[in-house]
Amino acid sequence: MRTKLDIGLLALVLLVAPLVSQPASAQGLAGASTDVTIASFNVLGSSHTRGPGGYASGVRRTKGVVRLLDRHDVEVVGLQEMQADQMRSFLDRTNGRYAAFPGLGGAREIDGENSVAWDTSAWEAVEKKSFTIPYFGGNRRAMPLVKLRNLSTGMTAWFANVHNPATNRHHGGNDHWRRKAILREAQLARKLHATGVPVFLTGDMNEREQAFCPITGKAPMRAARGGSHTGGRCRAGNPRYVDWAFGSRQLTFSGYVEDRGAVDRRTSDHPIVVSDAHIDGAQYQQAVQPAG
């Protein structure tokens, strides 16, 4: 025969049991999991298509940039060669949908050519920084680094975007500086990863395997397009382009696209590369930042 004390204890156990089986913290971590569509796009600077040739002006071509971002539902994009007239046109055409850093607000106009842009209905900037890499002839060039916060989940992530120096008939002898730039980018990714926040790195690396192997070997990063780097063996998977989207190893990438369709071909001499990324809230507990 149960006493009143027994019945009271049983009721207390039944009341507490649901709370124990599903901790509030676990619910919060699941809710913080975040999906983001990222892209990297060298939009072909205006100065490269002035005068007779096969492309329209940079300003006219920003219409294609916007169409491609809309087509792929891009939330965060690393833009390269987005010169000031193109950036003004881009911001006008998107009418507040995208914010950009440094955009038109860099210390020098040239700094804005490589910018991170994000959909303001989904993300907000909580930190904006610059870092430098060696560019033509080893001269330092500023590149953007932005910490964004997802408005729905509170998840934060670092987004860095780069354009490494090419070696061509106009700018010879930059192989050494390009290698140093890639090592600098891997070092930055490793440092950012140590903060416990997911990291994305986009850019025109001006390298294929020679970008993939150092970045995935010297930093805890993976490429959205695939490939592997384990046990000291690097398998880049025969990349076709020098345009890249990397992210922390804990991220899950899917739906990778290299769009070289008609709109892209009229817009730039590079493809827009796009991928979906999933950030698991349980993997990034320290990265969740409440509003305010």
Give CA–CA dist 131/140, Å, rounded.
Answer: 9
Q: How many CA atoms lie within 13 A of 215 on its CB side?
A: 31
Check residue 78 and give its pLDDT. Answer: 98
Check residue 214 and give its pLDDT. Answer: 97
**Closest C-alpha to 257, from 277, 244, 274, 240:** 274
The mean pLDDT value for 24-44 works out to 82
In contact, 166 and 270? CB cutoff 8 Å? no
- Is a pLDDT exceeding 80 seen at residue 179? yes
Q: Are strands 115-119 and 76-80 parallel, antiparallel or unpaired?
A: antiparallel
**Most distant CA pair in the chain: distance in Å?**
98
Please report, to the nearest 10 degrees, the dihedral formed by the alpha carbons of residues 50, 51, 56, 62 taken in order. Answer: 20
Give exposure, 87-110, as e/b (b: 16+ Cβ within 10 Å). bebbbeebeeebbbbbbeebeeee
pTM of the model: 0.89
Q: Give per-residue pLDDT as tens, 56-68.
A: 999 999 999 999 9
Check residue 137 and give its pLDDT. Answer: 87
CA distances from 95 to 80, 88, 91 (A): 20, 11, 6
Instruction: Compute the mean pLDDT over every residue in the chain, rounded to the nearest whole number.
Output: 90
- Is a pLDDT exceeding 90 seen at residue 193? yes
Give CA–CA dist 72/37, Å, rounded.
Answer: 8
Q: What angle do CA 45, 50, 54 make, to 5 degrees?
A: 90
Check residue 52 and give its pLDDT. Answer: 60
- Is a pLDDT exceeding 60 seen at residue 276? yes
